Amino acid sequence: MRVVVTGARGFVGRALIRQLESAGGHEIRPVDSELDLRDEAAVRRLLEDARPDVVIHLGGVSGPMVAADDPVRVTAVNAVGTITVLDAAAALDRPPLVIVASSIAAVEQALTGPRTVYAATKRFVEDAAGAFRARGVRVIAARLGSVYGPGRSTDHVVDRLARSILRDGEAVYDPEVLEPLVHVDDVARLILGLVTAAARQRLSETYTFVQALVPHEEIARTVAAALGKTVMTRHTLGTRLRWTEPLDSRALLRDTGMAFAVPLSEGLARTASSVTA
């Protein structure tokens, strides 16, 4: 199977490339920052040359903490970049399956109204996917939760708590906040599972990738235990979102015939152990 992966050197992209290589039987075309997703001609050339069976579009600004002071860039890369990829796919004689990375931020916007430009772009990505389905392109939106694991370069609560515990012996968190966690290896495995399942059955338009809603207090305890530390805790007021039914991942597990493979305690411990102060 010919597979184009954008954002291939990103956190999820690296894990996905490992999964594709391990599975075997795939001709992989990984691209990252060398491709300007806003460049319509360049994206079209890529897809015309690769003639992919599947495009997995992970490229973009990866979270609300990235380029928060540059909303024009966030919109251009996430919204325009996704349209460019979808339009290039639609222009092929045989449009590929396209899996686009969305985010639970899209749910956040639906429940509370937009809090960030990033959230607005992810809602847009899901709406745009629907417009291209009407043009005959098979598009699946992969609504990713709070992706954690060793090797993440952008800010995440697990890494942040681990650094604070190592540096200060203190864990600072809001005990009322729930984190919709999913390990990066599970994200990669389940995306590949969707690719496999799409060859044999009709799939849903959107899938949610969240293993569990985990209290920050539980994350702090698990991280401290993994680091062998007894810590002081200090409570603060965080952003309390009302996560509800849209974070249900049962359809993803049903349609792929898979399960989350990384136990939360193990994933949190491995991630904490990879962090340095």
Q: What is the pLDDT of residue 107?
A: 84
Per-residue pLDDT tens over the stretch 114-169: 788 898 899 999 999 999 999 999 999 999 999 999 999 998 999 999 999 999 99
> Please, what is the Cα angle at 22 between 21 and 23, to 5 degrees?
90
DSSP, res 78 = I
Confidence of residue 50 (pLDDT cuts 50, 70, 90): very high
Contacts of residue 228, defined as CB under 8 A and 6 or more positions apart, other chains included, come to none
Report the distance separating Cα 236 and Cα 268, nearest Å. Answer: 21
Global pTM value: 0.94
pLDDT at 240 over 90: no
Q: What is the pLDDT of residue 62?
A: 72
Q: Which residues pair with 214 in a beta bridge?
A: 179
Dihedral over Cα of 114, 118, 121, 127: its sign: negative
* SS3 label, residue 175: coil
